Structure 1
Amino acid sequence: MFQYILKRLLLMIPTLLGVLTVTFAIIQFVPGGPVEQMMSQLRGRGAGGEAGMVASDVRGTRDLSPERVAEIKALYGFDKPAHQRFWQMLKSFARFDLGQSFYQRKGVWDLIKEKMPVSASLGLWTFFISYFIAVPLGVAKAVRAGSRFDFVTTLLVLVGYAIPGFVLGVALLVVFGGQLQWFPLRGLTSSNWAQLSWGARIVDYLWHITLPVIAMVLGSFAVTAMLTKNAFLEEIRKQYVLTARAKGLDERRVLWRHVFRNALIPIITGFPAAFIGAFFTGSLLIETLFSLDGLGLLSYESVIRRDYPVVLGTLFFFTLIGLVTKLISDLSYVLVDPRVKFD
């Protein structure tokens, strides 16, 4: 086990290097970088984005002399060759220093911590609903396989899965936010949230989070429910279940004492990764639709603005989180099923 863990940890290094190298190389050929945006704005062509926030750092007029261009490149660190910038980035990432945003005057770590509560709110609610409602539903469907209950619930689950979350979100906003006005149209809390009591804050938060969570949960809900049902059906048909029934064991005991533990192996092994990933899940479309300033929106805006420190810093962080959670998921197989041996 120790050798397997050590091997997986060592393999994370070339994986991270590969992801960062490919992304960094692509960035070098993408037009409209921060230097071009700043030069365009100083020439008066109205470059969009947040480039104007750092315009005051460059002294001069619209007449861009070679010295002025060199000053702009030095401001963003583009006065050095690409290989030197790449090596400097790797050394910073090795110290878990993700750098500073070009436009927001904040460190990448600060931006992640600032945006994470919004994405964590969506991710955790989606996670808990998917597991603690979809799993019992999947068990009930497996026990009643072929019945009217199984047919109706399968139809509803698959229809919900077929509807994109963004389309469902638009429909929820139009009906419940616009026409009926039962829920707010934007934000995670009300503007006067700080003045509310703790009880009123909880109610206000749940009031705002309801529609985004409903829009996000249907896809993962359907997958978890159907996976649970299929896993249960596979276990129910095995020989040990027939033997337990032949011995006269109660059906409830057969299902929950024997079948349940074996059927949930594929569900439980994905539990750690899903739980950890819930804190960093960012849904760009849902966050944009409901005006939620989370990690998904941060990643999208960083790409559009060519905010390379944020793009590469968040990529490094999320890739590392993904690799670690994948390792935890693989190790959980041993905890759930001792028969699994990695050697």
Structure 2
Amino acid sequence: MPWFLRKLSHGGLLILGVTFISFSLMVWFGPDQTYTLIGKNATTEQIAEVREQLGYNQSFVVRYGHYLADLFTFNLGASNSSGESVNRILQKTIPVTLALMLPGFILGNLLGIALALLATGKKDQWTDRLITGFSVTGMSISFLVVIIFLQVLLCTPYGLNLFPVRGWQVSGLASYLYYVTVPTLSLIFITVGYNTRFFRAVFVEEAGKDHIRTARAYGASTMTILWRHVLKNSLVPIITRFMYTIPLVVISGSLLIESYFGIPGIGKATFDAVTSGDQPVLKAVVGLTAVAFIVIQLFTDFIYKLVDPRIA
């Protein structure tokens, strides 16, 4: 229980710190919506009234307190651009983003683990060099280049023309696969390089330890050593990699993928909010992302306890 309370208190402080910094940046550098709403020819009284409604006349501490209260009660206001409820925008876009990003994220991690195990079992052989070269190549190529290349190859008359260039008209499994295939391949190509490189380093380090040499001396096969010993004893860094990259891939990856493929997810909503200066949407996305990241961190710590009780 003391361990649980300590982690919970650390998580609470992190949430306060991250939301405070993000709110401060948006307040200090964000656009003033007053003249956007009433125009440049408004009277002094009209300007004062709108600023009062927007809360600009309140102190920074009061505004931050209202922001936290709204964030944790999901009273996120309305979009400045469309007038639609921010809650409704999130309800529509988050499921789309999860359906779009999770297949590539999961397959990219699983493929990275499989390739890293193969490279570790064939360390310093041509298979290891080939896999390492592939991972370095994947890490070196820009995400944007990969997206454009796959779009031209698979989505245009200049290539195979099998899938749509843009759009998201999903009504069943067949249409889902039709729209999700190319974005998923783009995400896999980029993430598998980083994942393979990371997991190979972890597995090679584990394979060089004394208990692995002992298992080899007792005649254990390479497959047994890799699956029962190396992989099992590498669960903590695997879990860390898996859990900590979820918000990064889902949010940052979706920004680029959804913008280029015209998919109405949270990434495209965030991109549109940035370009239009839509502060209610930006505050909601940034705040909820920070909270989600810290909650995932706490959840990861609990998983550590289950995997290895020695972790304090």
Fold-level match, TM-score > 0.5? yes
Q: 1:257 is matched with which residue?
A: 228
- Seen in structure 2, the aligned counterparts of structure 1 residues 281 and 32 have a Cα distance that, compared at 3 Å, is closer
Q: 1:204 is matched with which residue?
A: 175
State the Cα deviation string for residues 122-178 of structure 1 (Å, max 9, x = none): 321122211222211111111111222222222122112211111111122223222
Deviation at 1:245, TM superposition (A): 2.5
Deviation at 1:290, TM superposition (A): 0.8
- Seen in structure 2, the aligned counterparts of structure 1 residues 165 and 282 have a Cα distance that, compared at 3 Å, is closer
Instruction: Tell whether the 8 Å contact from 1:123 to 1:281 is kept in structure 2 after alignment.
Output: no
Q: 2:14 is matched with which residue?
A: 15
Deviation at 1:335, TM superposition (A): 1.9
Q: 2:257 is matched with which residue?
A: 286
C-alpha separation between the residues in 1 aligned to 2:18 and 2:247? 21
C-alpha separation between the residues in 1 aligned to 2:107 and 2:285? 27
Q: How does 1:107-126 map to 2 (within 5 A)?
A: 107-126=85-104
Instruction: Tell whether the 8 Å contact from 2:165 to 2:261 is kept in structure 1 after alignment.
Output: yes
Deviation at 1:274, TM superposition (A): 4.8
Deviation at 1:184, TM superposition (A): 0.7
Q: 2:109 is matched with which residue?
A: 131
- Seen in structure 2, the aligned counterparts of structure 1 residues 167 and 254 have a Cα distance that, compared at 3 Å, is closer
Secondary structure (helix, strand or coil) at the match of 1:26 reads helix
C-alpha separation between the residues in 2 aligned to 1:268 and 1:24? 30
C-alpha separation between the residues in 2 aligned to 1:273 and 1:82? 32
Which of 195, 214, 218 aligns to 1:243? It is 214
Of 298-307 and 111-120, more deviation after overlay is shown by 298-307
Taking structure 1 as the reference length, the TM-score comes to 0.81
C-alpha separation between the residues in 2 aligned to 1:7 and 1:337? 18
Report the number of matched residues. 310
Secondary structure (helix, strand or coil) at the match of 1:187 reads coil
- Seen in structure 2, the aligned counterparts of structure 1 residues 84 and 266 have a Cα distance that, compared at 3 Å, is closer
Which of 165, 169, 182 aligns to 2:162? It is 182
Deviation at 1:94, TM superposition (A): 3.9
Which of 114, 138, 161 aligns to 2:139? It is 161
Of 175-184 and 139-148, more deviation after overlay is shown by 175-184
Of 92-101 and 122-131, more deviation after overlay is shown by 92-101
Deviation at 1:215, TM superposition (A): 1.8
Secondary structure (helix, strand or coil) at the match of 1:27 reads helix
- Seen in structure 2, the aligned counterparts of structure 1 residues 182 and 269 have a Cα distance that, compared at 3 Å, is same
Secondary structure (helix, strand or coil) at the match of 1:341 reads coil
State the Cα deviation string for residues 19-38 of structure 1 (Å, max 9, x = none): 33333333333364221222
C-alpha separation between the residues in 2 aligned to 1:74 and 1:305? 22
C-alpha separation between the residues in 1 aligned to 2:26 and 2:111? 43
Taking structure 2 as the reference length, the TM-score comes to 0.88
Alpha carbon RMSD of aligned pairs, Å? 2.5
Which of 169, 183, 195 aligns to 1:224? It is 195
Q: 2:266 is matched with which residue?
A: 295
Structure 1: stretches of 5+ with no match in the other structure:
44-62, 195-200
Identical residues among aligned pairs (%):
26
Of 87-96 and 178-187, more deviation after overlay is shown by 87-96
Q: 2:148 is matched with which residue?
A: 170
- Seen in structure 2, the aligned counterparts of structure 1 residues 256 and 13 have a Cα distance that, compared at 3 Å, is closer
Matched, 1:341 2:311: yes
